[in-house]
């Protein structure tokens, strides 16, 4: 499970989305992150409800969160590819994403070998690197411009 569907994970992502939207003025990117956090929160609520009719469909209700995760990562990589920012800032952002994925894989591999990796805290370590990646991408100066241009292009193509 790439996403940890926990209460804290949803809250962390929502706070990051709010900060990115309101403080950094990256409304499109911040909104994507807040929608992602809403899907994490919804999955947490459905899992904790313990209603048998809902519990048997929990794997299907995770799909919107995974779609938003792919959307956020894809839009972040698009922003990094189109940005005129320094290469070092791009490398820092990509290294945080890589660290998040590698730590996630390492923790899942080591869960069966050591009880330390089964703790709840270890699920949040990749999340912290992923949040660092989101913040690094949101700090790119032309983030909002790139996403707005993409939105206008897609909207223009759709209207034709």
3-state secondary structure of 116: helix
Q: What are phi and psi of 125, to 5 degrees?
A: -65, -50
pLDDT at 2: 76
pLDDT at 65: 94
Domain borders along the chain are 7-159
pTM beyond 0.85: the answer is: yes
- Distances from the Cα of 119 to the Cα of 45, 76, 124, angstroms: 21, 30, 10
Q: Do 31 and 68 form a contact (C-beta atoms < 8 A)?
A: no
pLDDT at 113: 84
pLDDT at 3: 83
Angle at 80 (CA atoms; ends 3, 151), nearest 5 degrees: 85
pLDDT at 54: 85
pLDDT tens per residue across all 160 residues of the chain:
578 888 889 999 999 999 999 999 999 999 999 999 999 999 999 989 888 888 888 889 899 999 999 999 999 999 999 998 889 999 999 999 999 999 999 988 888 888 877 887 887 889 999 999 999 999 998 888 999 999 899 888 888 7
User: In this structure, is the dihedral angle defined by the CA atoms of residues 29, 35, 37 and 43, taken in order, positive or negative?
Assistant: negative
């Amino acid at each position: 499970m790439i996403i940890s569907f926990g209460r804290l994970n949803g809250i962390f992502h929502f706070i990051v989305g709010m900060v990115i939207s309101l403080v950094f003025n990256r409304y499109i990117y911040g909104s994507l992150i807040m929608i992602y956090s809403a899907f994490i929160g919804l999955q947490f609520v459905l899992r904790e409800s313990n209603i048998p009719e809902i519990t048997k469909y929990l794997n299907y209700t995770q799909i919107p969160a995974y779609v938003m995760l792919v959307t956020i990562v894809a839009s972040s990589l698009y922003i990094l590819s189109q940005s005129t920012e320094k290469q070092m800032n791009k490398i820092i952002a990509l290294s945080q994403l890589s660290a998040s994925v590698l730590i996630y894989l390492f923790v899942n591999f080591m869960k069966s070998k050591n009880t330390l990796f089964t703790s709840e805290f270890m699920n949040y370590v990749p999340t912290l690197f992923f949040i660092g990646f989101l913040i690094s991408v949101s700090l790119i100066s032309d983030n909002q411009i790139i996403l707005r241009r993409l939105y206008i292009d897609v909207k223009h193509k759709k209207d034709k």
